[in-house]
Amino acid sequence: MNKRNTSRTRQRRFKRSLPLIIILGGAALIALAIFALRPGRATIEVTGQAKLEADQEKVDLGTVRLGTPVTTQFVLTNVGDQALVFSQEPFVEVIEGC
């Protein structure tokens, strides 16, 4: 085989594989977009430090009889661009009445 035939063979192979390359590239872009836009991913609000954000400021459990256990749930998210590190136990304030 001479150089001219080898070059033509490579061009034919490339032309045949071009649609596959385009499809795989498009699928990769779609996968990256879905990964980047998935729910639950925090938006960076603060740069250079960590910042903790709760999904709700307060919870009203209504009237609860004394001795009745109640539970609630918070989703905490670090909206800063640095790692969130607790140096002490987190402080939670429970306010009674109002």
Q: Rounded distance, CA 76 to CA 70, Å?
A: 20
pLDDT at residue 38, as a whole number: 65
- Regarding whether 48 and 65 lie in a shared domain, the answer is yes
Question: Domain tally for the chain?
Answer: 2
- Regarding whether 63 and 48 lie in a shared domain, the answer is yes
- Regarding whether 11 and 22 lie in a shared domain, the answer is yes
* pLDDT per residue as tens digits for the range 45-62: 788 888 888 888 888 888
Task: Record the pTM.
Answer: 0.44
- Regarding whether 62 and 17 lie in a shared domain, the answer is no
Q: Which residues contact 50 (CB under 8 A, 6 or more apart)?
A: 78, 80, 82, 83, 84, 85
pLDDT at residue 54, as a whole number: 87
Q: Tell me the residue range of the domain where 15 lies.
A: 1-41
- Regarding whether 60 and 30 lie in a shared domain, the answer is no
